[in-house]
């Protein structure tokens, strides 16, 4: 009462803080919201586009008639509405097949789901695995362009089988598993096969070729009439289209190109017309990555995606007659181009003929001039190329950082066995040296709008986190602090774990790491813990990897013994924890670089 | 209701709706089947008791037969709207003329705007045409704007019983004229885009208000406004900003043409309305694109992001543009200088009316030659009224000379142009026409290969050089100058070469200008410069003969030009 203006000020600050927190959370939500258009298809006549989207939190397919844009978009839900009482009961549905069979009929298939049956109790009252099943949910669905005639054409249960020994007479062949079970004294157990969608019959696209495997029978191919749902066995005498990375033209019945994994996705077109179109479209979208996704039977229209720059991506149909690209949808329409921090691709030849590349995201509103730099190592092993749009880079750019996301040189060169000798001196040392080369190159290239070379941080997750730790050890004068997310301080057990789980391939890099281990060159994050003198934040999702958990504990213990207790935050797997993580990361960086990093908003319930 | 009233009044006062088609037709024959539109013919002083009023303000001479209050209201409204226009368009992008423009205001009965002679001519012409036996396909425009090389003139009919000055607007076509007159030529995407954007602007109620734009048509616009995710086609930025040669060659599918027109407007609107920074960047970019074809680097330097991102931003902005009314606050504008409307002198009446009637001759000649004579007679009567009374004002003489040129009487024209230019009249056309007549005389009977001495050509080159000192820069002047130098046995000096170089720079994308300049350079040994001039206009549209001449000349020149003479 004595200082009403102060109370008013405090109330205003509180309200502003809540608003700020809410906007930070909302910003994260929009940045990390799954993009639409993971799958898309153009009808053979080029008139309709179908693409995956989200409807009330569930997968749906949107159908657009581009010749009659006055027609409303048709949204077809793929998954049923979530159970309100138990929304996590069913995992998110993804599509594995989305193609137009004809100008008016769309075929799609959600990813197969295997649901084990509950265990049974044996005669002794003990729990035993269920001898039936499991239930396999593999519906292959179709819908007319107008949304009618929609539903599952065929599913795994249509091929449910009983063992051959149960079929003791000709009449048994006509009986269902349930009828057989009722007739037999011994229990008859059923199984469902897995279903693969192989493609359309070349001479009749109303016939879908599917394959079954995994039940009692040998793998078999069937023809499914997608208009009527009739199924008949098929000899399999047809040109089975190859899968990725080959690009198959369903109309010309031949391979027309090959997708290449590269820092920027490329396709080597064998079809001259598609190659020409690729060139035409790349000229229309300079500095962007153009990926042809589908085309009409005459190539008069082509469905393609454009990624790069600040934009999360957009899908277009190129109308060749008009020479006009028609924008069909944005992958993230909730993210306006002018609301994102600008991102630019870079690549250059470093000393030693290393081709280095990555993306630089520049803060639209810097907290300090010049802004600090955050160097981000790629995550996987073998590392995948950085994607053009990265929500995490946007978050750190919001905090005022220029964010440089690096690709490994091996990605740029293409991983080859002959690269192993070059990597032998130490994949970690090479990656760290490359990161330094990138920092130097960026400083040279961006002299007119420089970053603050005195405030460079490093970040990585998984194998990238390991490299972040190594960067702090090997280049402490350059990298002043770092954040390692689910980083394995000891690489070998983590690598074994990854290989066992199918998470890592044996390629040049992993081979090099194995070679290094065999040569007795340890990866010394732990052994050289005393070299870790700069502040580090360890973010660990407990229970996800024993190697990471154990290694992190060990590293933490060693650093504690050295009197350098690192910041450690246990990550929650749920996405709700994301805001807490970035807030924590922001606070950590702000502590290291006071006055340079933008203040992260407090938690929603903070006073 | 008020909005409707405003629009109606705009149509009445300046004819922004009805006037535009007429202005677009000016200088070109009317399309088949379209009505022929003729300029109004003012009644003689002897037949009207209303006095003429006159004032010269802000580079425009107003001659009015309306009442003084109406005249002042109109002028005030006109000046304030021109001032608002300059909030959007920096002065350097508006064409500048040394000779004042003219504006004639009248309020007479429309029936009187066509003399009996003209009516008779039109009826005769109509009978000769099967499709319009009664001449009904001829209209008299109440409002019209005409122009030639260095003069623009407007005639405005005002119904004084309904007139409100606040409702005067500047037509988009007039803004287009002002932008098109700027040299070096502004890129077509800017002029077209700005003109369309102007049509959505309201300068009356809450200046400057931009109403939602129309994308293709109102149906598509409404659909986009209600569904921002609706598919839309946009040209990539490198095609949007394509230079003339590329535009000339590009796909002309109607949908693509429609997209280009709409997107040009979208870009200009976005740049004008997004922020003062984008507005500034627009004009910076336009200035540079007028010099050399627009590039991605040029754009990024001005706007801070690349071509691809522009396309994305325009796409995101489109649903807003078709839905939202936006306003630019012009801020406090400087007060305008006072002026005085006074009774016009006979000389002022003759010069302004004569100028208008002279321009009308040219217009009628192009659109309905059979009706030309009454217009010629009227213009001569107006001008001779004061000339015969002894007036020898250089400006009057210049108008009389140009009137005779328009009338197809070059012999008489020289009698007036010689003394007018000798007296230093501010009228580049007068110098050009005189030089042209002299050059014709010099060449008459001489073989094409004959070279003339510098002394022979001085009487041609000097008036042209004088014309160069008086805005606007006229392409015809550079063409004639280059033709003269091409026939000269003596080489131009550095200053004279520089004059030709200026022409090449100002009209770099006009092959009709570039060719004679390149020829003059070539004749005097400047082959590299000639090659640069021709290369700068490569691909720009021109008639077949010019293109053939250019190809022939270019083949004789070095492959790689050393440098552009213009820079």
- Residues B413-422 pLDDT 10s: 999 999 999 9
Interchain proximity A322–B232, CB inside 8 Å: no
Question: Looking at residue B136, what is its pLDDT?
Answer: 47
Residue B529 domain flag: no
Stretch (H or E) spanning A395: helix A391-398
Helices (H), A61-100: none
Domain identity same for A209 and A310: no
Interchain proximity B229–A329, CB inside 8 Å: yes
Interchain proximity A319–B316, CB inside 8 Å: no
Question: Looking at residue B135, what is its pLDDT?
Answer: 44
**What is the distance between the alpha carbons of residues B426 and B417, in angstroms, rounded to a whole number?**
12
Residue A268 domain flag: yes
Residue B558 domain flag: no
Stretch (H or E) spanning A406: strand A402-406
More confident residue, A597 or B341: B341
**Percentage of residues of chain B with pLDDT beyond 90:** 69
Question: Looking at residue B129, what is its pLDDT?
Answer: 52
Interface test with A, best of B221, B227, B231, B300 (most A CBs within 10 A): B231
- Binning pLDDT at 50, 70 and 90, where does residue A89 land? low
- Per-window interface: A 516-555 vs B, CB < 8 A: none
Domain identity same for B229 and B170: no
Task: Give me the mean pLDDT over the A25-50 stretch.
Answer: 93
Interchain proximity A321–B253, CB inside 8 Å: yes
Task: Give me the mean pLDDT over the B456-468 stretch.
Answer: 97
- Binning pLDDT at 50, 70 and 90, where does residue B44 land? low
Residue A14 domain flag: no
List of residues 6+ apart from A368 with CB closer than 8 A: A400, A452, A595, A596, A597
Task: Give me the mean pLDDT over the A332-356 stretch.
Answer: 86
Domain identity same for B160 and B194: no
Question: Looking at residue A574, what is its pLDDT?
Answer: 56
Residue B419 domain flag: no
Residue A228's Cβ-side half-sphere holds a number of Cα atoms within 13 Å equal to 6
The position carrying tokens 């509950």 is: A118
Chain B residues in contact with A69 by the CB 8 A cut-off are 223, 230-231
Domain identity same for B125 and B196: no
Question: Looking at residue B397, what is its pLDDT?
Answer: 97
Residue B251 domain flag: yes
**What is the distance between the alpha carbons of residues A313 and B315, in angstroms, rounded to a whole number?**
13
Question: Looking at residue B561, what is its pLDDT?
Answer: 61
Q: At what angle do helices B527-536 and B511-523 cross, to 10 degrees?
A: 170
Question: Looking at residue A71, what is its pLDDT?
Answer: 58
Q: Could you tell me the residue range of the domain that residue B46 belongs to? A: 2-181
Q: How many domains does chain A contain in total? A: 3
Interchain proximity A322–B255, CB inside 8 Å: yes
Chain B residue whose CA is closest to A323: B251
Task: Give me the mean pLDDT over the B330-340 stretch.
Answer: 92
Task: Give me the mean pLDDT over the A5-27 stretch.
Answer: 54
Q: Report the relative pairing of strands A113-115 and A135-137 from DSSP bridges.
A: antiparallel
Residue A606 domain flag: no
List the structure tokens of A127.
């729990």
CB-CB contact of B260 with B236 (8 Å): no
CB-CB contact of A256 with A248 (8 Å): yes
Interchain proximity B316–A327, CB inside 8 Å: no
- Final residue of a structural domain among A218, A240, A262: A240
Of B238, B306, B316, the CB nearest to A336: B316
**What is the distance between the alpha carbons of residues A397 and A27, in angstroms, rounded to a whole number?**
12
Q: Give yes or no for B562 touching A (CB within 8 A).
A: no
Residue B361 domain flag: no
Domain identity same for B153 and B10: yes
Chain B residues in contact with A310 by the CB 8 A cut-off are 309, 312
More confident residue, A393 or A385: A393
**What is the distance between the alpha carbons of residues B440 and B166, in angstroms, rounded to a whole number?**
51
List of residues 6+ apart from B465 with CB closer than 8 A: B481, B499
List the structure tokens of B1.
């209701």
Average pLDDT, chain B: 87
Residue A244 has a CB neighbour count (10 Å cut-off) of 8
Domain identity same for A493 and A387: yes
- Final residue of a structural domain among A240, A272, A299: A240
Question: Looking at residue A351, what is its pLDDT?
Answer: 79
- Residues, chain B, total? 567
**What is the distance between the alpha carbons of residues A558 and A564, in angstroms, rounded to a whole number?**
9
3-state secondary structure A278-327: HHHHHHHCCCCEEEEEEECCCCCEEEEEEEECCEEEEEEEEECCCCEEEE
Q: Give yes or no for B255 touching A (CB within 8 A).
A: yes
- Final residue of a structural domain among A330, A359, A379: A330
Segments of A169-245 assigned E as strands:
194-201, 204-213, 220-225, 231-234
More confident residue, A162 or B299: B299
Domain identity same for B246 and B308: yes
Domain identity same for B139 and B285: no
Residue B348 domain flag: no
More confident residue, A94 or A171: A94
Nearest alpha-carbon partner for A235 in A221, A215, A218 = A221
Question: Looking at residue B15, what is its pLDDT?
Answer: 36
Domain identity same for B13 and B161: yes
Average pLDDT, chain A: 83
Domain identity same for A233 and A256: no
Counting other chains too, the contacts that B122-126 makes at CB distance below 8 Å and 24 or more residues apart are: B122/B368, B122/B371, B124/B370, B125/B368, B125/B370, B125/B371
**Percentage of residues of chain B with pLDDT beyond 70:** 86
Domain identity same for A235 and A254: no
Question: Looking at residue A86, what is its pLDDT?
Answer: 56
Residue B14, pLDDT > 60, answer no
More confident residue, A393 or A308: A393
Domain identity same for B41 and B132: yes
ipTM score of the complex? 0.82
Chain A residues in contact with B231 by the CB 8 A cut-off are 64, 66, 69, 317, 326-329
Interchain proximity A326–B309, CB inside 8 Å: no
Interchain proximity B309–A330, CB inside 8 Å: no
pLDDT one-digit tens code per residue, A458-495: 999 998 999 999 999 999 999 999 999 999 988 888 88
Q: How many domains does chain B contain in total? A: 2
Residue A594, pLDDT > 90, answer no
Task: Give me the mean pLDDT over the A66-94 stretch.
Answer: 66
Interchain proximity B307–A286, CB inside 8 Å: yes
The position carrying tokens 């690489």 is: A491
Residue B536, pLDDT > 70, answer yes
**Percentage of residues of chain A with pLDDT beyond 70:** 81
Question: Looking at residue B563, what is its pLDDT?
Answer: 52
Domain identity same for A397 and A459: yes
- Binning pLDDT at 50, 70 and 90, where does residue A91 land? low
Which CATH number belongs to the domain containing residue A467 in this structure? Answer: 3.40.50.1820
Residue B390 domain flag: no
Residue B539, pLDDT > 60, answer yes
Residue B51 domain flag: yes
Domain identity same for A235 and A255: no
Domain identity same for B61 and B124: yes
Domain identity same for B155 and B196: no
Question: Looking at residue A527, what is its pLDDT?
Answer: 82
Q: Which of A450-459, B132-141, B463-472 has the lowest mean pLDDT?
A: B132-141
Domain identity same for B132 and B245: no
Residue A72, pLDDT > 80, answer no
- Per-window interface: B 288-327 vs A, CB < 8 A: 296, 305-309, 311-313, 315-316
- Residue A327 C-alpha, separation from nearest chain B C-alpha, in angstroms: 5
Residue A538, pLDDT > 80, answer yes
pLDDT one-digit tens code per residue, A301-317: 999 999 988 889 999 99
Of A319, A326, A337, the CB nearest to B309: A337
**Counts of helices then strands in chain B (DSSP H, E):** 24, 12
Domain identity same for A427 and A504: yes
pLDDT one-digit tens code per residue, A235-259: 877 888 888 899 999 888 899 999 9
Residue A82, pLDDT > 70, answer no
Q: Could you tell me the residue range of the domain that residue A324 belongs to? A: 249-330
Q: Report the relative pairing of strands A372-376 and A194-201 from DSSP bridges.
A: unpaired
Q: Which of A412-421, A466-475, B2-11, B219-228 has the lowest mean pLDDT?
A: B2-11
Interchain proximity A286–B231, CB inside 8 Å: no
pLDDT one-digit tens code per residue, A163-183: 766 666 777 777 776 777 677
Residue A452, pLDDT > 70, answer yes
Domain identity same for A125 and A257: no
Domain identity same for A213 and A322: no
Question: Looking at residue B121, what is its pLDDT?
Answer: 60
Q: Give yes or no for A322 touching B (CB within 8 A).
A: yes
Domain identity same for A465 and A439: yes
Domain identity same for A233 and A266: no
Task: Give me the mean pLDDT over the B386-404 stretch.
Answer: 96
Question: Looking at residue A504, what is its pLDDT?
Answer: 52
3-state secondary structure A32-56: HCCCCCCCEEECCCCCEEEEEEEEC
Task: Give me the mean pLDDT over the B265-281 stretch.
Answer: 96
CA of residue A17 relative to chain centroid, distance = 33
Domain identity same for B46 and B106: yes
Domain identity same for A120 and A208: yes
Question: Looking at residue B31, what is its pLDDT?
Answer: 55
List of residues 6+ apart from A116 with CB closer than 8 A: A130, A133, A134, A135
Residue A80, pLDDT > 80, answer no
- Binning pLDDT at 50, 70 and 90, where does residue A84 land? low
**What is the distance between the alpha carbons of residues B53 and B352, in angstroms, rounded to a whole number?**
11
Task: Give me the mean pLDDT over the B121-125 stretch.
Answer: 60
List the structure tokens of A135.
């239930």
Residue A55 domain flag: yes
**What is the distance between the alpha carbons of residues B379 and B395, in angstroms, rounded to a whole number?**
15
Region for residue A11 given its phi and psi (left: phi exceeds 0; alpha: psi -120 to 50; beta: otherwise):
alpha
Task: Give me the mean pLDDT over the A593-599 stretch.
Answer: 78
């Amino acid at each position: 009462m004595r200082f009403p203006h102060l109370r008013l000020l405090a109330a205003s600050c509180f309200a502003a803080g809540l608003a700020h927190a809410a906007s930070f959370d909302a910003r994260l939500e929009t940045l990390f919201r799954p993009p639409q258009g993971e799958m898309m298809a153009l009808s053979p006549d080029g008139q309709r586009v179908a693409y995956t989207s989200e409807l009330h939190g569930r997968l749906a397919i949107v159908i657009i008639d581009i010749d009659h844009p006055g027609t409303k978009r048709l949204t077809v839900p793929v998954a049923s509405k979530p159970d309100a009482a138990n929304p996590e009961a069913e995992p998110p549905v993804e599509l594995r097949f989305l193609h137009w069979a004809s100008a008016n009929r769309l075929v799609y298939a959600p990813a197969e789901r295997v649901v084990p049956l509950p265990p049974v109790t044996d005669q002794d009252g003990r729990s035993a695995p269920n001898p039936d099943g499991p239930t396999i949910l593999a519906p292959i669905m179709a819908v007319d362009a107008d949304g009618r005639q929609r539903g599952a054409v065929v599913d795994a249960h249509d091929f449910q089988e009983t063992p051959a020994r149960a079929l003791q007479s000709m009449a048994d062949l006509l009986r269902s598993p349930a009828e057989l079970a009722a007739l037999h004294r011994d229990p008859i157990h059923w199984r469902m096969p897995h279903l693969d969608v192989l493609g359309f019959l070349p001479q009749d696209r109303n016939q879908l070729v599917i394959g079954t495997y995994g039940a009692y029978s040998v793998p078999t191919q069937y023809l499914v009439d997608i208009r009527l749902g009739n199924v008949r066995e098929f000899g399999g005498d047809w040109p089975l289209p190859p899968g990725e990375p080959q690009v198959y033209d369903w109309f010309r019945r031949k391979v027309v190109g090959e997708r290449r994994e590269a820092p920027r996705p490329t396709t080597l077109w064998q079809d001259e017309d598609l190659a020409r179109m690729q060139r035409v479209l790349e000229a229309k979208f300079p500095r962007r990555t153009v990926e042809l996704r589908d085309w009409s039977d005459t190539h008069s229209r082509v469905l393609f995606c454009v990624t790069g720059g600040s934009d999360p991506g957009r899908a277009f149909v190129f109308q060749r007659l008009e020479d006009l690209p028609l924008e069909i949808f944005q992958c993230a329409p909730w993210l306006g181009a002018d609301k994102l921090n600008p991102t630019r691709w870079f690549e250059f030849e470093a000393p030693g003929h290393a081709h280095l590349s990555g993306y630089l995201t520049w803060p639209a509103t810097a907290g300090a001039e010049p802004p600090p730099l955050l160097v981000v190592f790629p995550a996987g092993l073998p590392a995948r190329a950085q994607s053009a749009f990265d929500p995490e880079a946007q978050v750190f750019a919001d905090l005022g950082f220029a964010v440089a996301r690096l690709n490994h040189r091996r990605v740029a060169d293409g991983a080859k066995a002959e690269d192993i000798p070059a990597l032998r001196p130490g994949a970690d040392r090479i990656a760290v040296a490359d990161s330094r080369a990138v920092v130097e190159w960026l400083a040279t290239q961006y002299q007119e709008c420089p970053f603050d070379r005195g405030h460079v941080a490093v970040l990585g997750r998984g194998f990238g986190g390991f490299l972040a730790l190594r960067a702090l050890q090997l280049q402490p004068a350059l990298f002043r602090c770092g954040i390692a997310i689910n980083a394995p301080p000891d690489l070998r057990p983590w690598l074994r774990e990854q290989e066992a789980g199918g998470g890592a391939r044996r390629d040049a890099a992993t081979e090099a790491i194995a070679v290094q281990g065999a040569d007795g060159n340890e990866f010394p994050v732990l052994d050289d813990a005393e070299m870790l003198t700069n502040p580090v934040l360890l973010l660990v999702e407990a229970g996800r990897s024993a190697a990471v958990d154990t290694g992190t504990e060990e590293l933490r213990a060693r650093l504690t013994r050295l009197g350098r207790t690192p910041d450690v935050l246990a990550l929650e797997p749920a996405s709700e924890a994301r805001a807490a993580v970035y807030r924590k990361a922001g606070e950590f960086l702000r502590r290291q670089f006071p006055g340079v990093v933008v203040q992260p908003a407090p938690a929603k319930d903070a006073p | 209701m008020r909005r409707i009233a405003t629009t109606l009044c705009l149509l009445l006062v300046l004819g922004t709706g009805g006037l535009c088609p007429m202005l677009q037709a000016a200088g070109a024959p009317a399309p088949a089947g379209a009505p022929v539109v003729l300029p109004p013919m003012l009644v003689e002083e002897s037949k009207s008791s209303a006095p003429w009023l006159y004032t010269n303000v802000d580079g425009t001479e107003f001659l009015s037969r309306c009442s003084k209050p109406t005249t002042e209201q109109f002028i005030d409204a006109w000046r304030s709207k021109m001032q608002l226009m300059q909030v959007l368009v920096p002065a350097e992008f508006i064409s500048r003329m040394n000779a004042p423009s003219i504006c004639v205001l009248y309020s007479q009965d429309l029936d009187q705007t066509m003399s009996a002679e003209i009516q008779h001519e039109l009826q005769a012409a109509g009978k000769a045409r099967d499709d319009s036996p009664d001449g009904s396909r001829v209209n008299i425009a109440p409002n019209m704007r005409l122009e030639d090389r260095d003069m623009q003139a407007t005639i405005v009919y005002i119904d004084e019983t309904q007139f409100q000055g606040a409702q005067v607007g500047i037509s988009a076509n007039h803004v287009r004229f002002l932008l098109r007159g700027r040299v070096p030529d502004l890129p077509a995407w800017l002029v077209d885009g700005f003109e369309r954007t102007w049509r959505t602007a309201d300068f009356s109620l809450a200046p400057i208000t931009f109403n939602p734009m129309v994308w293709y048509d109102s149906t598509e616009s409404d659909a986009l406004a209600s569904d921002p995710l609706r598919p839309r086609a946009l040209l990539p930025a490198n095609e949007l900003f394509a230079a003339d040669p590329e535009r000339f060659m590009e796909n002309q599918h109607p949908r693509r043409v429609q997209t280009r027109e709409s997107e040009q407007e979208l870009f200009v609107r976005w740049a004008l309305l997004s922020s003062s920074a984008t507005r500034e960047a627009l004009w910076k970019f336009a200035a540079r694109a007028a010099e050399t074809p627009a590039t991605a680097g040029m754009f990024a330097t001005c706007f801070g992001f690349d071509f691809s991102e522009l396309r994305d931003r325009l796409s995101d902005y489109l649903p807003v543009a078709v839905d939202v009314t936006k306003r630019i606050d012009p801020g406090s504008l400087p007060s305008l200088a006072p002026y005085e409307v006074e009774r016009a002198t006979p000389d002022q009446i003759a010069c302004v009316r004569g100028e208008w009637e002279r321009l009308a001759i040219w217009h009628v000649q192009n659109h309905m030659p059979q009706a030309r004579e009454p217009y010629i007679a009227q213009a001569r009567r107006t001008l001779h009224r004061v000339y015969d009374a002894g007036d020898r004002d250089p400006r009057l003489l210049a108008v009389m000379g140009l009137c005779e040129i328009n009338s197809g009487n070059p012999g008489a024209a020289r009698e007036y142009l010689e003394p007018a230019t000798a007296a230093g009249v501010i009228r580049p056309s007068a110098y050009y026409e005189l030089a042209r007549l002299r050059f014709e005389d010099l060449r008459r009977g001489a073989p094409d290969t004959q070279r003339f001495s510098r002394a022979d050509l001085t009487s041609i080159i000097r008036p042209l050089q004088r014309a160069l000192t008086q805005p606007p820069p006229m392409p015809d002047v550079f063409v004639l100058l280059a033709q003269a130098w091409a026939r000269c046995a003596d080489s131009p000096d550095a200053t004279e070469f520089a004059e030709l170089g200026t022409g090449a720079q100002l009209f770099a994308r006009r092959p009709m200008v570039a060719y004679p300049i390149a020829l003059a350079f070539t004749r005097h040994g400047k082959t590299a410069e000639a090659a640069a001039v021709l290369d700068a206009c490569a691909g720009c549209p021109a008639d077949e003969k010019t293109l053939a001449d250019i190809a022939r000349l270019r083949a004789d020149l070095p492959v790689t030009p050393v440098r552009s003479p213009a820079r």
